Structure 1
Amino acid sequence: MTSAYRVLPATADVVIVGGGVMGASIAFHLAEAGVRDIVVVERGELGGGSSGKPIGGVRAQFSDPLNIELGRRSLRAFQDFWRRPGADIGLDTVGYLFLLTGPAQATGFEESVRTQNALGVPSRMIGPREARALCPYLSTEGLVAAAHSPADGHARPALVVRGYARAAARAGAVFATHTAVTGMDTAGDRVTAVHTDRGPVSCSAVVCAAGAWSARIGSMAGVELPVRPLRRQLAFTVPLVPTPPRIPFTIDFSSSAYFHNSDDGLLLGLADPGQAEGFDTTWTPGWLDMFREVARRRAPALAEMAVSGGWAGLYEVTPDHNALIGRCAAPANFLYATGFSGHGFLQAPAVGEIVRDLHLGRRPCVDVTPLGADRFHPGSKSRPEAHVV
């Protein structure tokens, strides 16, 4: 990285708090649009928080139009990433496969597929036998149907962060790593400075892209961002011989257990329904017992696979599991993109565009009004649709 990653200017047009995939995407899109005085403040290394530990899935298979559009627009950007901003991100378009074990699930996904198809997403419902042909690990016993979209897949989050950050730095953005935000100054209805443990930065606008830590950052400006941290864990199998078949990103919808290819093995994961909120990112392999219990029914060969290790990261969860994207009424120069509840990586390209447009006073490419943080205020009528996936 260049020296731009070590210097903290005293002034900036825009200060972005958070050097994960969201902050890097926003910095790139602002810099590409001609905004020159951009400072990204990151308390650790770029991508060192939640962005360094997601599962890497990219998809447009959602049940509501807003999230479908965010995913669809981002998928196009990931497919074009080699050209703009110009980096290999390890994109593997293997598709997403949701496994359904009850009639109600199948009915819900049928409706979602109709909505997706109307918006240009090539998803479709398939039967158990076709699902097993796509993913040979599956047992079809108890499987009612599946939903498959061949345009989805997975990529390497660290490469995405690096690609966006390098392009933004070439355009003049400054990335101040190992720099913690300690407070903000406000005057009237505006933030005037961001304080860090390396000194203050006077600014014209602030963007909170701090992930699971966003509630604390928002409170410094008097903004309520209802985001709470929730640990999620995954594991990697040892290299498999023979090399595993190329399979879709496969999710057992009832249990949330998932798996996909990763180098010479598989990546495995499951959301522990009993996980307490908190910032603990200790990897505790005991959760694998829950995964193996599901695997014995749905993909028996996976139940006995040895693992080589894993990690824990943080979801940034909101009360309705939809993102927070918007500009505050007060302070009027405080913008936010957070609370993605596990979908931040896959929506980062589209959200970078949206925050760019909000800052520049343009009409965003996607109307994110329903995702404003004020939707949780008493009497608010602006609410996004609940999404099934």
Structure 2
Amino acid sequence: MPSSVFRTVPARADVVIIGGGVMGASTALHLAEAGVTRIVVVERGELGSGSSGKPIGGVRAQFSDPLNIELGSRSLRAFQDFPHRPGAGIRLDTVGYLFLLDSAQQAHDFEAGVELQNDLGVPSRMIGPDEARRLCPYVSTDGLVAAAHSPTDGHARPELVVQGYARAAARAGVALATHTAVTGIDTTGNRVSGVRTSRGRIACSTVICTAGAWSARIGAMAGVDLPVRPVKRQLAFTEPLSPPAPRIPFTIDFSSTAYFHNSDDGLLFGLADPDQEDGFDTTWTPRWLELFRAAARRRAPALAGMRTTDGWAGLYEVTPDHNALIGRSHEPAGFLYATGFSGHGFLQAPAVGEVMRDLCLEREPFTGISPLSADRFRHGAEIRPEVHVV
């Protein structure tokens, strides 16, 4: 992956992007393509070494509100076009998403979501238990009321997406300053005037925070409240399966949050532990697998006995209403942010990169993102919590 370990960072920039994950890389490329010069991406580790290096890779447009549907749909099209722009393979596998529902209330809620998705061009549909089992032979239909399926969703490899964006951004002249920690943000009057780093100061008039789970710290340096908290999420991989696993949708048991999909010669398992405390610890602790196995015994019994060989832990960047923070601060001027995606950052990164480009250039984005302003919490205007968990 392209990166530059600077002895000193560039003394000046037009835009400094803090955070070298998928959101920062996407934003950098979109700005460079729009003709912005002197862009510096500052990353304290290697590119993609934070949350972007450890997500589950799901890409979808199955959401319960119009704005998230639009961001997901537009990003899906960008992922499909990734081999041509920016020009990289990302192992996109369009297997679909399958949500398994075991109550009448869940079915009612998802029916409303599917109707909205269809209105916005997403080919999702409600299906019965038997069809859900045909799509995913591991599924037990006992107690299953319905399912929601969208065939155009799927999963890709996050590290390849970060690399693709970063390489293209570097070719366009973006400076990628890795192993460079941000130590402060300077303001003059009511405007951003510079970023202090472990390798020197960068004078600039625009800062974009794409620091994921660490964004609250960056916001505080500028006097901006970004209510993002880190929550550990874990996943595991089965040993190679023989016979091979069938090609299945990205399947989610909605009640338990247990999910699974194909991964190389086995399966990937995951689940959101409801008792997980906030914090930056990313130690993989396989105890959570017992929660997954308990859910699997009920909904996909064959998975409960599969042996796992490896796994990892990463961080969700969670906001109070589980929706992203996208916008610009009123004070200080010149501070923009795209963070708090609560598990949806990877899948929305292409579209959000476009949005950040337009906000930076004071152009109208392709969709109105004012509901995602961080100010919504100060004004008591939280938007409907996104009900999907992965």
TM class, shorter-length: over 0.9
Match of 2:260 in 1: 259
Query: How is 1:114-193 mapped onto 2 (pairs within 5 angstroms)?
Result: 114-193=115-194
SS in 2 for 1:74: helix
| TM norm structure 1 | 0.98
Q: TM-score, normalised by structure 2?
A: 0.98
The aligned runs of 1:225-374 (5 Å cut-off) are 225-374=226-375
Corresponding residue for residue 386 of structure 1:
385
Cα drift, residue 4 of structure 1: 4.8
Distance in 2 of aligned mates of 1:153 and 1:386? 23
Aligned AA for 2:296? A
Structure 1 residue 3 displacement after superposition:
6.6
Rounded Cα–Cα distance in structure 1 between residues aligned with 2:59 and 2:283:
26
Asked if 2 retains the 8 angstrom alpha-carbon contact of 1:95 and 1:148, the reply is yes
What's the CA shift string for 1:130-173, capped at 9, x where partnerless?
Answer: 00000001110000000000000000000000000000000000
Map Cα deviations across residues 290-315 of structure 1 (whole Å, 9 max, x no partner). 00000011011100001111000000
Change (3 A) 1:48 1:353: same
Question: What is the CA distance between 1:8 and its match in structure 2?
Answer: 2.0
- 2:196 matched to 1:195? yes
Shift of residue 88, structure 1, vs aligned partner: 0.2
Q: Which residue of 1 aligns with 2:14?
A: 13
**Matching of residues 98-117 of structure 1 within 5 Å:** 98-117=99-118
Q: Which residue of the partner structure matches residue 218 of structure 2?
A: 217
Equivalent residue letter for 1:301: A
What stretches of structure 2 of length at least 5 have no aligned partner? none
Is the Cα contact below 8 Å between 1:5 and 1:174 reproduced in 2? no
Partners of 1:178 and 1:60 in 2: CA distance: 34
C-alpha change, 1:9 and 1:76, in structure 2 (3 Å) is: same
Between the aligned partners of 2:329 and 2:251, the Cα distance in structure 1 is: 38
**Counterpart for residue 57 of structure 2:** 56
Instruction: Mark the CA change 1:2 to 1:245 in structure 2 (over 3 Å): closer, same or farther.
Output: closer
Cα gap change, 1:131/1:2 in structure 2, threshold over 3 Å: closer, same or farther?
Answer: closer
Specify the code of the residue in structure 1 equivalent to 2:387. V
- Larger CA deviation: 209-218 vs 1-10: 1-10
User: What is the total number of aligned residue pairs between the two structures?
Assistant: 387
How big is the shift at 1:2?
A: 5.1
Give the SS at the match of 1:12.
coil
Name the SS of the counterpart of 2:140 in structure 1: coil
d(CA) in 1 for partners of 2:36, 2:263: 37
> What are structure 1's unaligned runs of at least 5 residues?
none
Q: CA RMSD in A?
A: 1.0
